[in-house]
Amino acid sequence: MKPEDAYAELRRFQIETAYYQSLGALASWDQRTYIPRKGHEHRARQFAALAQLLHRRRTSPRIGEWLDALEGASFLSDETAPEAVNVREWRRAYERSRRVPEELAVALAQAQSEGESAWEELRRLDDWKGFKPYLERLVALTREYAEAVGYETEAYDALLEDYEPGERAARLQEMFAVLGRDSQRLLEAVMGSPFQPPEGVLNRDYPLDAQVRVVREIVGRIGYDLEAGRIDPTTHPFELSVGPGDVRITTRYYPDYLGAALFGGIHEAGHAMYEQGLPAEHWGTPMGEAAGMGVHESQSRLWENAVGRSLGFWEHFYPLLQGSFDSLSGVSLASFHRAVNAVRPSLIRVEADELTYNLHIQVRFELELALFRGQLEVADLPEAWNAKYREYLGIEPKNYKDGVMQDVHWAAGLFGYFPTYTLGNVYAAELYRAASNALGDLEGRFARGQFAPLLNWLRENIHAHGRRYLPRRLIEQVTGREPSAKTLTAYLKEKFGNLYRI
């Protein structure tokens, strides 16, 4: 077979597989939003059947034959060309997939669906005892998976590869050691400042119907294409891409707290704008996919924090809020801006302030690492969780739902995902700095309602590349420097030093 014919056949096959995956994405969105309570058991079996179908396709001998026929093809000589990128990533995925036994792939998919469904109910009931068996099964199966796909140094590296290709646990440990230390020092200085923001501004009466309208208005105006997406309420906010023209987000609403819906919506819109900006002509191939979850989180965290908590952003949008919520009628712009940037150690990660957020991730990363190094078992997690919250944030949950059961990630078997949030913060600081150098006064643009220049810059420099580069290499390619936690620390020190006059 000619290499050109082999590539055409392989591309056709992989795009067909992507259509099956997109149907799975739609079923996943439905499970997290509107599925009837009694439909979860059947949905778990659907996911198991889909996992079996996808595993057979991903490990098909035909992929190996096509890849063999492409060895040494001249049109793949430029490693950054779309065809070369696709073949590289298809080969990597094929080699990993065929190491996983079909029965393990099916069992893991079913356990993930069952775990997530159980978590939604058991978290509400604060029932750790009921949830523990689901989590134990997920950890056991994930350990099997890590051993099956293989690794050079440790099992956790095998899990990281699914979310952040090229990343390693040892390098993350070094990053968290430095960032955690610097964050705790800055937190101590902030908490000791006499210039504290007003309390309770976000914890007032915020009618839900008005929140829905405001969130929709804001995310639409910053660049989320609402004609190619939708916003729904959910237990845990997420973004999900079904395919071109259908990228969905969710957020959660509380009648007495505005921050969850507002910043959850902006965060997920950041994810969605990345998906909407990926080249549609490459859909179904690696060139039409995000570079990694760290890069994905860089988009959501950049829009949520660097943009959404800036003074310029609220100079533009605060009139909308004051016109929508009577509870803000006596609150000045300056007071509101300080309130949305308030630093206070808290229990809930998704509602954490920008400074303490990475400490929340450090807790989860260290617990995951201990689990997969055999230093910790699932039964030990609640006590270990509480101990780390005391050490890093000086507080401790009084229940499981605000502690070890608060996130959906472990219930869905997403081990190795959490550190990508902090990688996203590191990348976001680098990208915002580079964008500011390229575009000038970004906050001034935000104040005038001009968000397209930043979005277009991200589309050109990040979104358009798909998986052309490994995540760290992509950031270096855009910024001209290797990504470093020092840039994030400098950003945090400048921002909170000004806000708290320290």
* 475 within a domain of the structure (yes/no): yes
CB atoms within 10 A of CB 265: 27
Residue 164 lies in a domain: no
Q: What is the predicted pLDDT for the residue at 441?
A: 96
Residues 173 and 129 in one domain: no
Residue 397 lies in a domain: yes
Helix axes of 452-461 and 259-277: crossing angle, nearest 10 degrees? 50
Domain limit, last residue, from 102, 117, 150 = 150
Q: Are residues 305 and 450 in the same domain?
A: yes
**Closest C-alpha among 118, 105, 117 to residue 49:** 105
Give me the average pLDDT of each 10-residue run along the chain (502 residues): 96 98 95 92 93 95 97 95 98 96 95 94 97 98 98 97 96 96 96 95 98 98 98 91 97 96 96 98 98 97 98 98 97 97 95 95 98 98 98 97 96 97 98 98 98 98 98 97 96 96 93
pLDDT at 482: 94
Q: What distance in Å separates the CA atoms of residue 371 and residue 366, rounded to the nearest whole number? A: 9
368 domain-assigned? yes
Q: What's the pLDDT at 351?
A: 85
Domain boundary among 150, 182, 213: 150
Residue 138 and residue 218 share a domain:
no
Domain annotation covers residue 400? yes
Q: Are residues 335 and 467 in the same domain?
A: yes
What pLDDT shows up at residue 235?
Answer: 81
156 phi and psi angles, rounded to 5 deg: -60, -30
The tokens for 363 are 């807790």
Q: Give the count of domains, the chain.
A: 2
Surface-to-core class of residue 372, CB atoms within 10 Å of its CB (0-12 exposed, 13-18 middle, 19+ buried): buried
- The pLDDT of residue 385: 98
**What is the predicted pLDDT for the residue at 231?**
97
pTM, rounded to two decimals: 0.94
With residue 232 as reference, give the H or E element that holds it.
strand 231-233
Beta-strand (E) ranges in 282-388?
Answer: none
Nearest 5°: phi and psi at 233?
-80, 150
User: What type of residue sits at position 470?
Assistant: L
Active site residue ranges: 268
Residues 412, 344 share a domain: yes
- Quote the strand ranges of 393-498, DSSP E: none
Domain that holds residue 36: 3-150
Q: Give the residue from 98, 119, 150 where a domain finishes.
A: 150
Same domain, 107 and 186: no
Cβ(85)–Cβ(287) under 8 Å?
A: yes
Quick check: is 155 in a domain?
no
What is residue 50's predicted lDDT score, i.e. its pLDDT? 95
Distances (CA, A) of 186 to 177, 365, 425: 14, 21, 16
**Are both 49 and 179 inside the same structural domain?**
no
CATH (domain of 471): 1.10.1370.30
> Are 202 and 121 in a shared domain?
no
- The first and second tokens of residue 479, run together, are 């910024």
Same domain, 100 and 239: no
User: Do 180 and 290 fall into the same domain?
Assistant: yes
Instruction: Confirm whether 145 is domain-assigned.
Output: yes
Quick one: 381 and 273 in the same domain? yes
One domain for residues 80 and 129: yes
